[in-house]
Chains A and B, each alone.
Chain A
Amino acid sequence: MNLNSETQLVKAAQNGHLESFGALYERYHSSMVALAYSMLAERDLAEDAAQEVFAIACCDIGSLKSKDRFGAWLAGICRNVSRQMLRANINKPVALSKDHAAQSREDAEDRREAIRRAVWSLREAERELIVLRYFDGFSQAHISEVLGVSPQAVNGRLVRAKRKIAEYLKQNGLTGDDYEKS
């Protein structure tokens, strides 16, 4: 990423330059949908959350002091918006319906469900990382901007989170061999 470019875009947006904000929108919209999805587990809700995130960012961009941390700032807004949506939907199951596996007897669908369960069994920070990585294939560099950690840390944490998923799947009877056969 061209850091200078992003810093300048932020600065220009802070000066009221809508096209620059548009460039930031294009750069981060998809990752905000992914981040919201990691918390809300529903694609449509995540899309709505991302819209709201940019509305808030558009109004509050003047308050951003560290212009080189726009992605991490946006991610903070996204987490707050998603939490508010979760609270508003408090009586609604967040991630996965319990009897889904029973309803769906197809092996392939069961495997997909097991993988979803494995991902949503992770802690929030790990789940964010996994969803960002696989949602739209974001690079580790982009993830590091959004999460505000170094690319090395992203790499290390991804490996650990994937190990956890693999372990969860193993405990639930799904291995790489099973998956490849399906």
Chain B
Amino acid sequence: MKSPENDKWLDEALSEVIGSKKTRTDFDHWKQRHPEAVEMLTSRADIEPSTSESSLNIRRIIMKSPITKIAAAAIIIVAVVLSINIWDNTTPVAYALEHTIKANHTVRYLYIKVFKDGEDEPKEFWVECNESGQIKNARLHMPEWSSPDDGAKVGIWKEDKVQIYFKRKNTLFIAADKIVAEGMLKLVEECDPRLAVENLYEQEQQGKLKIEIDEPSDKAEPIIVTATYLSDSASPNKREVLSVDQETKLVTEVEFYQLQYGQYRYTGRQEYYNYNQPIETKTFTLDEVPADVLRIDQTIQEVGLVQGQLSDEEIAIEVVRNFFEALIAEDYSKAGKLLEGIPADKMQEIFANIKILRIVSVGPAGPHPIPETKGLVVPCRVEIEKDGQTSLWELDRLGVRQVYNQPGRWTIFGGI
């Protein structure tokens, strides 16, 4: 196959398919269709000092002049030529982030450890990339501290499919969904040294951080790159210190610091190992889960309720109501399908000692406190019987959302 950057065919194909016709840009037409917006903008002139109209007109006339355009182009060309000359003359061999960005193109395998200050156990990531450098397979080990709600977990990512084993709950969750897959991929990408270096490079170009490079004469010693975020950047008070292998130009470690009381305090580090040492295929499977694991496989069964014509809030309430009605009727199969697809026998086990007597109230539905879940919260109260005693069970954080990869179906999530 011809490579895209050396070949015109892909450019032609993409231009043909995407760039089918020119866009019609007509501000006068837009103004006619949006008189209220226009009025809102022009009314600002009453409260703000106005910029000289004539000077703007002159600038526009000048910039539209062909001679000006040619002159401007000439200046740009001269500037580019000058900058190339300056670059060539002053930095022929010195290390720069671009060297690592280039070296990163060769990365196919990588093992990463992420340490947080005060915690012994690291997060671990095994990453396999394809020939283009895109992540093809990933495995994650997330320790207890990384997610106190879920506990420690192991995850496998491959394209749009994820498997997550929740150790504490002895539950294996399987889903084929872009949103879940992208969420997990994001976890991997957050510690991908290739993206980290590109990000630093971009921020430096935008003047948002200061880069200092210490390149020791002893080639066995790593190059130390200190990136200090400036006050107007997205992460002010943050500093990253990268160790870069002098021979390969690949990053071997990044340390993170936060400015507190005038001192940069260490907050954690990421260590990168085994660049391009092939990882065994079985690493990217979850064969080691216990035989008695609770398996919730959303790729092989329909889960939740169909939304139909109901609004998001209405369907969320309907799911919760149906769930408790199923429990009252002791229909554990139906209840399990409304709780992410938990098998009926497991539901029966969970509710062996609790009998749901009646629904006292359900709703109203509101936004979930964790926006990333893209779900709603449905507060509800039910009367239950436990150990011969009747009591009121109040659930104020019962989450409901769309089922992964099953558009139009909604389920309770996150346990009850």
Give A contacts to B, CB under 8 Å.
2, 5, 8-9, 11-23, 25-26, 29-30, 33-34, 43, 47, 51, 54-56, 58-59, 61-62, 90-91, 111-112, 115-116, 119, 123, 130-131, 133-137, 149-150, 152-153, 156, 159-160, 162-167, 170, 175-177, 179-180
27 contacts between A and B (CB under 8 A): A5-B63, A9-B56, A15-B49, A16-B44, A18-B38, A18-B41, A19-B53, A25-B27, A25-B30, A26-B25, A26-B27, A29-B23, A34-B23, A43-B21, A58-B34, A58-B37, A112-B16, A119-B14, A119-B18, A134-B14, A134-B17, A149-B202, A160-B132, A163-B133, A165-B4, A165-B14, A166-B10
Bound complex: CA of A130 vs CA of B14, how far in Å? 8
Interface secondary structure of A, over-half rule = helix
Bound complex: CA of A142 vs CA of B21, how far in Å? 19
1/0 per residue, CB under 8 A from A, across B224-250: the answer is: 000000000000000000000000000
CB of B50 within 8 Å of the partner chain: yes
CB of B291 within 8 Å of the partner chain: no
- Residue pair A13, B41 in contact (C-beta under 8 Å): yes
Least Cβ distance of A137 to chain B in Å? 7
Bound complex: CA of A7 vs CA of B47, how far in Å? 20
Interface centre among B25, B59, B131 (most CB of A within 10 A): B25
- Residue pair A150, B206 in contact (C-beta under 8 Å): yes
- Residue pair A15, B14 in contact (C-beta under 8 Å): no
CB of B260 within 8 Å of the partner chain: no
B45's contact among A15, A22, A133, by CB below 8 Å, is which?
A: A15
Interface secondary structure of B, over-half rule = helix
- Residue pair B18, A131 in contact (C-beta under 8 Å): yes
Q: Which of B1-49 contact A (CB under 8 A)?
A: 1-5, 7, 9-23, 25, 27, 30-31, 33-34, 37-38, 40-49
Bound complex: CA of A180 vs CA of B46, how far in Å? 60
B18's contact among A18, A111, A130, A162, by CB below 8 Å, is which?
A: A130
Bound complex: CA of A167 vs CA of B20, how far in Å? 23
Which 7 A-B pairs give the minimum distances between C-beta atoms? Answer: A16-B45, A16-B44, A162-B4, A12-B51, A58-B37, A176-B9, A176-B2
CB of B343 within 8 Å of the partner chain: no
Known A-B contacts A150-B202, A165-B4; the reply to A22 vs B27 at CB < 8 A is yes
CB of B323 within 8 Å of the partner chain: no
B25's contact among A30, A159, A163, by CB below 8 Å, is which?
A: A30
Q: Which of B172-192 contact A (CB under 8 A)?
A: 182
Besides A20-B56, A22-B31, A111-B13, 14 other CB < 8 A contacts?
A16-B44, A16-B45, A18-B42, A26-B25, A34-B23, A43-B21, A56-B37, A58-B41, A134-B17, A136-B19, A162-B10, A163-B132, A165-B4, A179-B10
- Residue pair A59, B132 in contact (C-beta under 8 Å): no
Residues of A with C-beta under 8 A to B48: 14-16
- Residue pair A159, B56 in contact (C-beta under 8 Å): no
A166's contact among B4, B19, B63, B205, by CB below 8 Å, is which?
A: B4
Closest residue of chain A to B21, judged by CB? A43
Residues of A with C-beta under 8 A to B13: 111, 115, 179
1/0 per residue, CB under 8 A from A, across B392-416: the answer is: 0000000000000001100000000
Closest residue of chain B to A11, judged by CB? B51
Residues of A with C-beta under 8 A to B206: 150
- Residue pair A176, B1 in contact (C-beta under 8 Å): yes
Give B contacts to A, CB under 8 Å.
1-5, 7, 9-23, 25, 27, 30-31, 33-34, 37-38, 40-51, 53, 56-57, 59-60, 63, 72, 101, 130-134, 182, 198, 201-202, 205-206, 407-408
Least Cβ distance of A26 to chain B in Å? 6
Bound complex: CA of A97 vs CA of B379, how far in Å? 39
B60's contact among A23, A149, A176, by CB below 8 Å, is which?
A: A23
Least Cβ distance of A103 to chain B in Å? 17
Residues of A with C-beta under 8 A to B49: 15
Bound complex: CA of A156 vs CA of B4, how far in Å? 12
A162's contact among B5, B21, B33, by CB below 8 Å, is which?
A: B5
Closest residue of chain A to B408, judged by CB? A91
- Residue pair A2, B63 in contact (C-beta under 8 Å): yes
- Residue pair B133, A170 in contact (C-beta under 8 Å): no
Closest residue of chain B to A182, judged by CB? B13
- Residue pair B4, A137 in contact (C-beta under 8 Å): no
- Residue pair A20, B51 in contact (C-beta under 8 Å): yes
Bound complex: CA of A125 vs CA of B37, how far in Å? 30
Bound complex: CA of A8 vs CA of B55, how far in Å? 10
Least Cβ distance of A119 to chain B in Å? 7
- Residue pair A150, B201 in contact (C-beta under 8 Å): yes
Bound complex: CA of A162 vs CA of B43, how far in Å? 46
- Residue pair A29, B42 in contact (C-beta under 8 Å): no
Least Cβ distance of A2 to chain B in Å? 7
Closest residue of chain B to A32, judged by CB? B23
- Residue pair A14, B63 in contact (C-beta under 8 Å): no
Known A-B contacts A58-B41, A150-B206; the reply to A163 vs B3 at CB < 8 A is yes
- Residue pair B34, A55 in contact (C-beta under 8 Å): yes
